[in-house]
Structure 1
Amino acid sequence: MFSFRKNNLDKIKSFIRKSEEIQIDKSDKEKLIEMIRPTIGIRTKSSDDKNAKVGTTKIGGKPDLPKDFEWPKADGKPMLFCAQYNLAELSKFNKENRLPEKGFFYVFLSLDQDWKEFNGVNQPYKFIFSETEKIIRTEFPNDLEENQTFKTALVEYFEFYTLPDDENYKLFELEKKYNNHLYFLFYQPTEEFIAEEIYQNTDNFHQILGYDRSIQSSVVFEFASKELGLYLANSSEHKKYWNEILELSKTFELLLQLDCNDSNTDLSKFGGSGTYYFGLSRADLENKKFTDIKMTFQTT
């Protein structure tokens, strides 16, 4: 594991308060500081299953599953195993106590059978929480094509912090106040500081908890749209039900991001430069209930 870096939050707060690059009112700086959320950062390292202990967090490779696990399928075909997360390994970074102290998250995705790719549009997926720690390295199903597996990347967790996406509902009033220039007046210098000064080797969009680091607009709107059956609805329908989408979006939380555009993995062969976002209702997260997970996919 990477060493736990103390005072990173204080460094971020100090930068926001003192930097001349941030050109917003002092009171608004404090509002944004109050929004900062502890987040579990993820770094990856290319490896192979020979060097991956059974049960360790990893992306790709062969999964470590309960002995009686039934491999998920879609349209009669086995889904692709993408990642497993050992919750016991990240417990010291679980600052808000939002995750179980042990168990595993597993991510399985299926291909669009017409285009042979990941696209997030009505794409079957399985996000599984298992409390079982009695697991074994599991062979791939015989009917899973050889090119539908991924090389192994090991994961290291670290202390991270995030702010709401600049299009998140929490910032509507501030965006209005600064004539929709908040990104340039605040976000750009703050994000550059975090990336360059504190987390120099973090160039991926992997994370657990916190606010979404979206490629497009904040994914909480997409979680809400999916719940309402309005995902990818035309603009007139979206506008018609915007108030419902907005209010429902306030009840969702990000759980996990999985970045396909990570050179230490080869998820990009099906996912391109896209990132998967998994979320759930705030009530389910508070109750540590992971049976109704929403998924969305954004790409450049």
Structure 2
Amino acid sequence: MFSFKKNNLKKITSFIRNSEEVQIDNEDKEELIKMIKSTVGIKTKSSDDKNLKIGQSKIGGKPDLPKDFEWPRANEKPMLFCAQYNLSEITRFDKENELPKKGFFYIFLSLNEEWNEFNGIKQPFKFIFSKSENLIRTEFPNDINENQTFKTAVIEYFEYYTIPHWQNYKLFEFDKKYDDFNFYFIEPIEFYMIEELYQDSDNMHQILGHDRSIQSSVVYDFASKELGLYGAESSEYQKRWNDILELSKTYELLLQLDCYDSNTDLTKFGGSGTYYFGLSKTDLENMNFNNIKMSFQMT
């Protein structure tokens, strides 16, 4: 369905080493090349449930769920089904073998009752890992509004690469060393990847890798959630910054879901926002997906 050029990692490393736009010391270039993470890229295409096999990765439509599945609810209302990811389709792009070879990730989100939108602040959600492969295409609950369902977009995965977010703690030393590290390193690489390598997949969807956060790196959001500081007053946030920073180093990005994708209509509740789902490094190593943290960022 989709096609992407191979050997992009070699192209990225060659660009970093040889481009005049990347104006940092050669030894620092090599250190930053080591930070490049293999990532599962996601490309979407508008579709219809009748054209998709049961269990195929998709955003929107009717979910393919185990027969005994209980639809998640919040505030006595059904949550909105947003996406399902078939892990067997991901395996060949999971270079570090960080995910199960089989099973499914499901994402259900709830609406802010006051504004009838997604907002991420104390928003109930369900990120579900299911090993069951005995699935049926499931009808929506009778009490869900028609407007609270989403059109179908099929997902295809591809080999992708990410670098740390420019505000991520991993880049603090480089940012101190160079007056405008973002301009001389981050921006040229991101522009090169979008314009030269992945121009046909310019969205914020991905699985694993470094976060591509709209605002500050979401690892700080995951940590602040753990500490009960997510959405707290800035003064309280700054007071606990050292705690947030240290805890953020224990978190990894698991998945990004982009609401601002023209092949879906998640934007009707999520606007230009992206959902980020993360977990502790220990949980990822143990493939434990029961303590997922969620963050929502908008432009």
Q: Which amino acid in the other structure matches residue 136 of structure 2?
A: I
Deviation at 1:2, TM superposition (A): 4.0
In 2, the alpha carbon distance for the partners of 1:120 and 1:233 equals: 13
1:278-289 matched pairs, under 5 angstroms = 278-289=277-288
Residue of structure 2 in register with 1:255 after alignment: 254
Q: TM-score, normalised by structure 2?
A: 0.99
In 2, the alpha carbon distance for the partners of 1:81 and 1:100 equals: 22
Task: Report SS of the residue matched to 1:21.
Answer: coil
Task: Report SS of the residue matched to 1:189.
Answer: helix
Task: Report SS of the residue matched to 2:117.
Answer: coil
Residue of structure 2 in register with 1:42 after alignment: 42
Residue of structure 2 in register with 1:163 after alignment: 163
Work out whether residues 5 and 197 of structure 2, in 8 Å CA contact, stay in contact via their aligned partners in 1: no
Does 1:80 pair with 2:72? Answer: no
Residue of structure 2 in register with 1:134 after alignment: 134
In 1, the alpha carbon distance for the partners of 2:287 and 2:4 equals: 25
In 2, the alpha carbon distance for the partners of 1:7 and 1:159 equals: 9
CA change 1:268–1:4 in 2 (3 A) is closer
1:3-152 matched pairs, under 5 angstroms = 3=3, 5-152=5-152
Q: Which amino acid in the other structure matches residue 270 of structure 1?
A: F
1:113-262 matched pairs, under 5 angstroms = 113-179=113-179, 181-262=180-261
Work out whether residues 164 and 212 of structure 1, in 8 Å CA contact, stay in contact via their aligned partners in 2: yes
Deviation at 1:5, TM superposition (A): 4.0
Work out whether residues 46 and 264 of structure 2, in 8 Å CA contact, stay in contact via their aligned partners in 1: yes
Q: Which amino acid in the other structure matches residue 226 of structure 1?
A: K
Deviation at 1:163, TM superposition (A): 0.5
Task: Report SS of the residue matched to 1:166.
Answer: coil
Instruction: Extract structure 1 runs of 4+ deviating beyond 2 A.
Output: 1-6
Work out whether residues 5 and 159 of structure 1, in 8 Å CA contact, stay in contact via their aligned partners in 2: no
Deviation by residue 1:120-166 (Cα, 9 ceiling, x = unmatched): 01000000000001100000000000100000000010000001100
In 1, the alpha carbon distance for the partners of 2:59 and 2:158 equals: 16
Task: Report SS of the residue matched to 2:90.
Answer: helix
Deviation at 1:234, TM superposition (A): 1.3
Alignment RMSD (CA, Å)? 0.9
Deviation at 1:6, TM superposition (A): 3.0
Aligned residue-pair number? 299
In 2, the alpha carbon distance for the partners of 1:173 and 1:294 equals: 27
Deviation at 1:198, TM superposition (A): 1.1
Deviation at 1:192, TM superposition (A): 1.0
Work out whether residues 84 and 107 of structure 1, in 8 Å CA contact, stay in contact via their aligned partners in 2: yes
Deviation by residue 1:228-276 (Cα, 9 ceiling, x = unmatched): 0011111221111111100000000000000000000000000000000
In 1, the alpha carbon distance for the partners of 2:4 and 2:234 equals: 45
Q: Which amino acid in the other structure matches residue 19 of structure 1?
A: S
Deviation at 1:8, TM superposition (A): 1.0
Deviation by residue 1:67-86 (Cα, 9 ceiling, x = unmatched): 00000000110000000000
CA change 1:293–1:101 in 2 (3 A) is same
Task: Report SS of the residue matched to 1:201.
Answer: helix
Deviation at 1:3, TM superposition (A): 4.8
In 2, the alpha carbon distance for the partners of 1:114 and 1:234 equals: 21
In 2, the alpha carbon distance for the partners of 1:239 and 1:188 equals: 27
Deviation at 1:202, TM superposition (A): 1.2
In 1, the alpha carbon distance for the partners of 2:266 and 2:113 equals: 17
Deviation at 1:196, TM superposition (A): 1.3
Work out whether residues 17 and 29 of structure 2, in 8 Å CA contact, stay in contact via their aligned partners in 1: yes
In 1, the alpha carbon distance for the partners of 2:4 and 2:99 equals: 19
CA change 1:14–1:158 in 2 (3 A) is same
Deviation by residue 1:60-112 (Cα, 9 ceiling, x = unmatched): 00000000000000011000000000000111001000000000000000000
Unaligned runs of 5+ in 2: none
